Amino acid sequence: MATKLTARTPVNFLVVDNDHTVAKIIRSMLLQEYVASSVTITGNLQDAWDIYSERKIDFVISEIDHPTGSGLDFLDEIRAQDREIPFIYISRRNDRELIILAAQNDSDGYVVKPFSENALIESIREAWKKRKSDYTQSLNQMEDLASKDPTRALDQLEDKFGSNEQTARMYTLRGRILQRLKRLEEAKESLSHAINVNPMYLNAKKNLGDVMVETGEKDKAKALYEEVVDISPMYKECHVSLAKVYAEDQEFGKLKQLTDHYSSYFPKSTDLQMTVAEELLHHGQNEMAAELFKKIIEIDKQSPSTDIDGMVYRYNRLGIALRREGKVEEAIEYYLEALDLAPDSAAVHYNLGVACGQNGQHKRAIQEFQAALKLDPNLEEARREMEKVLQAVRDRVTVTMK
């Protein structure tokens, strides 16, 4: 049975808002209403994630806009770990698109600032009721089961039909399971039914687009993705899917517009930009790829919590794009910056060796390949490239002797 929320239910709240005054007001409201609870407040998303990871948190209330990142990404990280924790957004932005996106992001409420104590407490009650209900918990369990045993999950889900509650979500889940089982026509039918039940259920439209990509109906998929992005400009996963379709169709102008549009909402988020940059590099659009990798690296430099390994990877990819453009000296400069961050990276030493070889710096190239092999003796690419450089040196000596 679901736990009922009362004044004496022990709840560990986490409040995430960089406006410390607002956070303290919320803490006061919560402690007054729920006397057996504890409330932790922070204004930093990385600190919030650390708190969530280290403590038993039962309920999260978070500002959707943060100087240190996106509240939407924060919820994505939490939902990857826990589908049952209630999560409410608070924001000064009373934007229809943002409210829709928050709901699609599997949040449980959206409270617009300034709000009254009654409005916040009522939203908390509704969120708890929704997230802790037996029905919702059952669906969450099936979501988890679908990734492990889709056939069994489908059998269990069939027993749930007939309820009028959350029907669009049920049909969407059923469609995703059928997609996993490669029963694509049935998946399309189920997802279409979800859209008929709730035309604003954007997850169903995005998932239907994914299935249509698999069935070769790329134009229909593209139209669905574009519709979703138009309604909800901050739906990251749909932007990623649309970007891949644009890249495959070589619509690079639209791809750039899509990236710029998304960046206007999330200037500090690089997930979509990385997807687009990789697609551009894959399709030989090296100049555009290099420009985008440079923007991503600048964003990385401004973030105190940037993952060093991730940043080094991006330097590597930028170097490849520049080398392909013929800008070898510039590529070398970025590889050297990467080595400052990670001097023990075999991949960076290897790529620097390739660039030096292209630039005629044979001695330095050999040194870098040797460094790469010392760090990773199984890096056969470095061994092959070093042999090419050594052969070039031998050939040059032979010509000189003649």
- CATH classification number, 137-232, choose in 3.40.50.150, 2.30.30.100, 2.102.10.10, 1.25.40.10: 1.25.40.10
Going by pLDDT thresholds of 50, 70 and 90, the confidence category of residue 398 is: low
**Tell me, what's the pLDDT at 330?**
96
Going by pLDDT thresholds of 50, 70 and 90, the confidence category of residue 59 is: very high
Going by pLDDT thresholds of 50, 70 and 90, the confidence category of residue 73 is: confident
Q: What mean pLDDT value characterizes the chain?
A: 87
In the numeric block, which tokens belong to residue 9? 């239910």
Mean per-residue pLDDT, 125-133: 84
For residue 279, what are the CA distances in angstroms to 216, 218, 389? 19, 17, 30
**Tell me, what's the pLDDT at 164?**
44
**Tell me, what's the pLDDT at 160?**
64
pLDDT digits (tens, 9 = 90+) for 286-295: 999 999 999 9
Mean per-residue pLDDT, 107-120: 91
- pLDDT of 36 > 90? The answer is no
- Measured CA to CA, the distance from residue 206 to residue 276 in angstroms comes to 18
**Tell me, what's the pLDDT at 305?**
58
Q: What global pTM score does this model have? A: 0.68
**Tell me, what's the pLDDT at 225?**
95
CATH 1.25.40.10 fits 307-402, yes or no: yes
- pLDDT of 45 > 70? The answer is yes
- pLDDT of 349 > 90? The answer is yes
pLDDT digits (tens, 9 = 90+) for 214-261: 999 999 999 999 998 887 777 778 889 999 999 999 999 999 899 888
The answer to whether residues 252 and 284 touch, using CB atoms and an 8 Å cutoff, is: no
- pLDDT of 40 > 50? The answer is yes
Which residue, chain included where needed, has tokens 């919030």? Answer: 48
Which residue, chain included where needed, has tokens 């829709």? Answer: 100
**Tell me, what's the pLDDT at 166?**
55
Percent of the chain with pLDDT over 90: 48
- Greater confidence (85 vs 163) lies with 85
**Tell me, what's the pLDDT at 135?**
62
Going by pLDDT thresholds of 50, 70 and 90, the confidence category of residue 370 is: very high
Topology match between the domains 137-232 and 307-402:
yes
Extents of the domains making up the chain = 12-132, 137-232, 307-402
For residue 28, what are the CA distances in angstroms to 35, 51, 108? 10, 20, 21
In three-state secondary structure terms, 7 is coil
Going by pLDDT thresholds of 50, 70 and 90, the confidence category of residue 90 is: very high
In three-state secondary structure terms, 12 is strand
Q: DSSP string of 284-337?
A: T-HHHHHHHHHHHHHHHHH-TT--HHHHHHHHHHHHHHHHHHT-HHHHHHHHHH
Beta bridge partners of 376: none
pLDDT digits (tens, 9 = 90+) for 147-206: 788 888 888 777 765 444 457 778 888 899 999 999 999 999 999 998 988 887 888 999
Mean per-residue pLDDT, 261-266: 79
Nearest residue to 44 via CA among 24, 62, 22: 62
**Tell me, what's the pLDDT at 284?**
92
CATH class of the domain comprising 12-132: alpha beta
DSSP state of 163: B
Long-range contacts of 99-104, Cβ-Cβ distance < 8 Å, separation of 24 or more: 100/200, 100/202, 100/231, 100/232, 101/72, 101/232, 101/234, 101/235, 102/64, 102/72, 104/201, 104/202, 104/203, 104/232, 104/235
Mean per-residue pLDDT, 110-130: 90
Q: What are phi and psi of 66, to 5 degrees?
A: -135, 145
- Measured CA to CA, the distance from residue 350 to residue 361 in angstroms comes to 14
